[in-house]
Structure 1
């Protein structure tokens, strides 16, 4: 069953990309913080690179003004996430998270089979607003859509 509002985010190690790559447990990452974590099916894919990540880059300061951190997640290896962050001019503080084996995505129950496109198992497009590691809003896109997980929409969902 997919994660629902009121559920605790699963504790799974991810790779966080900064100047280098470090492993971080999601429990430590989300503890004591207000966060939006949004997931894309793949770095460098059209909607992800032209709309989804750029929206969060553009509105990053608006999230900060609300006291909310932002993290981008993809089932891609950390080197791809690092290159994508550089190509998209991701600001310091917007976390780029690699879920290379899809463990976190599966624990959330938000995986999808993209084998028909040569991409294997990936994450559905979604956004979660969490406080202290507990999901408050879980917004999952229907296949092929991009509406409810956008930065603009997420800003309207945060108290």
Structure 2
């Protein structure tokens, strides 16, 4: 069943890169406190994700934070090494927490799986964004086809805050 407004985010172990290497983190620890804007992408370094979706949140980070957002997080069914490299390539810095869902646990539990095997990518995440309040979905913006970029873009999310 797909995540919807009013649902609590699923509990899952994710990974993020630290100075000492990959660090497991629990979803409720990094996404469950305060106001969090979470956005999910089908894959790091893929064209729309890399050229538009992630850069939009980097460019709008200050405006999102000014609206009361405590954290901006990006999740993908990729490992933390890939997400770290992607974040560095896109100058994310400390504006966005990059979260690897390497085994797709969070994505599956959220009901946001995308069959991208036709592109050789296997099971990935649909493209979506969510505004979370203490771990509960307040707003949810899922792309109708799972991969396009309109309702889950940074500008669209910012307009709802």
Question: What TM-score does the superposition give when structure 2 sets the normalisation length?
Answer: 0.94
**What residue in structure 2 maps to residue 156 of structure 1?**
159
Structure 2: how far apart are the matches of 1:18 and 1:150?
Answer: 27
* Cα distance per residue 1:41-71 (max 9 Å; x no partner): 0000000011000000001111111221100
Q: Which runs of 5+ in 2 are unaligned?
A: none
**Correspondences of 1:1-159 after superposition (within 5 Å):** 1-19=1-19, 20-68=21-69, 69-143=71-145, 144-158=147-161
- CA gap of 1:114–1:10, structure 2 versus 1, over 3 A, is same
Aligned-pair CA distance for 1:31: 2.9
| Structure 2: distance between partners of 1:126 and 1:118 | 21
Moved >4 Å (runs of 4+): none
Q: In 2, Cα distance between the equivalents of 1:61 and 1:16?
A: 22
Question: How far did 1:17 drift?
Answer: 2.5
Secondary structure of the residue aligned to 1:135 is: strand
TM-score calculated relative to the size of structure 1: 0.95
Offset of 1:151 from its aligned partner? 0.4
For the Cα contact (< 8 Å) 1:82–1:96, is it kept in 2? yes
Q: CA RMSD in A?
A: 1.1
Count of residue pairs brought into register by the alignment = 158
